[in-house]
Amino acid sequence: MTFYQKLLELFQSIHNSERFLDIFPELEAEILQLFCAERITIYQRSYHSQDIYSRFKTGSELTEIRVPIGPQSIAGYVALSKKSVLIKDAYDEKELQSIHPKLSFARQFDQKSGFRTRSVLAVPITEQNVLLGVIQLINAKAAVAFSQDDLDKATQLAQVLGQKFRYELGATRGPFDDLHHRNLLSASQLQQLNQPPQDFTAQVNKLITDYHISKEQLGLSLEAFYQVSFIGFEPDKYQLHALNNKLNRSYLLKNHLVILDDQSGKAIIVLTNPNQADTLMEVERATGLLNYDIHVALPDDIDRYITGHQDNNLTELGDLLNEADDDLKLESFQPQDEGISEDTPVVVKLVNRILMDAQRLNASDIHIESGKAKSSCRVRLRVDGECRELIQIPPAFMPAVVSRIKIMARLDIAEKRLPQDGKFSIKLANNIIEVRVATLPTVFGEGVVMRILASGEALPFDKLQLSPRNYQMMSQMIKHPHGVLLVVGPTGSGKTTTLHAILGQLNTPDKKIWTAEDPVEITQPGLQQVQMNNKSGLTFAVALRAFLRADPDIILIGEMRDKETAHAGIEASLTGHLVLSTLHTNSAPETITRLIDIGIDPINFADACIGILAQRLIRTLCTRCKAAYQPDRAEQDYLQRHYGLGFASELELKNPLTLYKAKGCQNCDQTGYKGRVGVHELLPVTAKVRQLIYHKASIEQIQQQAITEGMRTLVQDGILKVVAGITDFKQLQAISVFED
Instruction: Give 30's pLDDT tier (boundaries 50, 70, 90).
Output: confident
| Mean pLDDT across 464-484 | 93
More confident residue, 374 or 300: 300
Omega within 30 of 0 (cis) for the link into 519: yes
Name every residue whose Cβ is closer than 8 Å to that of residue 392 and which is 6 or more positions away in sequence: 376, 377, 378, 379
Instruction: Give 346's pLDDT tier (boundaries 50, 70, 90).
Output: confident
> Alpha-carbon dihedral of residues 194, 199, 203, 206, nearest 10 degrees?
-120
pLDDT at 530: 95
pLDDT at 210: 78
Per-residue pLDDT tens for 111-155?
A: 888 899 999 999 999 888 888 899 999 999 988 899 999 999 899
Instruction: Give 15's pLDDT tier (boundaries 50, 70, 90).
Output: low
Query: Helices 588-597 and 699-708 sit at what angle, rounded to 10 degrees?
Result: 140
Per-residue pLDDT tens for 415-470?
A: 999 999 998 988 776 677 889 999 999 998 899 999 988 666 788 998 899 999 99
Q: What percent of the chain has pLDDT over 90?
A: 43
Give the helix ranges, DSSP H, for 480-613: 495-506, 540-547, 563-574, 588-597, 602-608
For residues 39 and 118, give the distance between their C-alpha atoms in angstroms, rounded to a whole number: 11
Q: Taking 50 as the threshold, does the pLDDT of residue 491 lie above it? A: yes
Identify the helix (H) or strand (E) that includes residue 81: helix 74-81
pLDDT at 333: 31
Q: Strand 483-488 to strand 578-583: parallel, antiparallel, or no bridges (unpaired)?
A: parallel
Name every residue whose Cβ is closer than 8 Å to that of residue 225 and which is 6 or more positions away in sequence: 128, 130, 171, 172, 173, 174, 175, 176, 177, 178
pLDDT at 654: 81
| Mean pLDDT across 24-50 | 83
Per-residue pLDDT tens for 564-592?
A: 999 999 999 998 999 999 999 989 999 99
Q: For residue 738, with 0-12 CB atoms within 10 Å meaning exposed, 13-18 middle and 19 or more buried, which class applies?
A: exposed
Q: Taking 50 as the threshold, does the pLDDT of residue 689 lie above it? A: yes
Q: Taking 70 as the threshold, does the pLDDT of residue 8 lie above it? A: no
The mean predicted confidence, pLDDT, of the chain is 85
Per-residue pLDDT tens for 178-187?
A: 898 888 989 8
Instruction: Give 60's pLDDT tier (boundaries 50, 70, 90).
Output: confident
pLDDT at 334: 37
Rounded to 5°, the CA angle 149-65-88 comes to 35
For residues 552 and 577, give the distance between their C-alpha atoms in angstroms, rounded to a whole number: 7
Which H, E and C letters describe 302-345, residue by residue?
HHHHHHHHCCCCCCCHHHHHHHHHHHHHHHCCCCHHHCCCCCCH
Tell me phi and psi for residue 138, to 5 degrees. -125, 130
Per-residue pLDDT tens for 270-290?
A: 999 888 888 888 888 888 887
Return the top range by mean pLDDT from 229-238, 454-463, 620-629, 677-686. 677-686
pLDDT at 330: 35
More confident residue, 206 or 517: 517
Instruction: Give 311's pLDDT tier (boundaries 50, 70, 90).
Output: very low
More confident residue, 191 or 610: 610
- Per the CB < 8 A criterion, the answer to whether 377 and 395 are in contact is yes
Instruction: Give 169's pLDDT tier (boundaries 50, 70, 90).
Output: low
Q: Taking 50 as the threshold, does the pLDDT of residue 81 lie above it? A: yes
For residues 698 and 685, give the distance between their C-alpha atoms in angstroms, rounded to a whole number: 15
Per-residue pLDDT tens for 397-407?
A: 888 899 999 99
Instruction: Give 14's pLDDT tier (boundaries 50, 70, 90).
Output: low
Q: Would you say the pTM of this structure is higher than 0.85?
A: no
Q: How far apart are the first and last CA of the chain?
A: 64
pLDDT at 308: 66
Question: Edge-to-edge strand order for the sheet containing 239-240?
Answer: 229-230, 292-296, 267-271, 257-261, 239-240
For residues 231 and 297, give the distance between their C-alpha atoms in angstroms, rounded to a whole number: 6
Name every residue whose Cβ is closer than 8 Å to that of residue 22 and which is 6 or more positions away in sequence: none
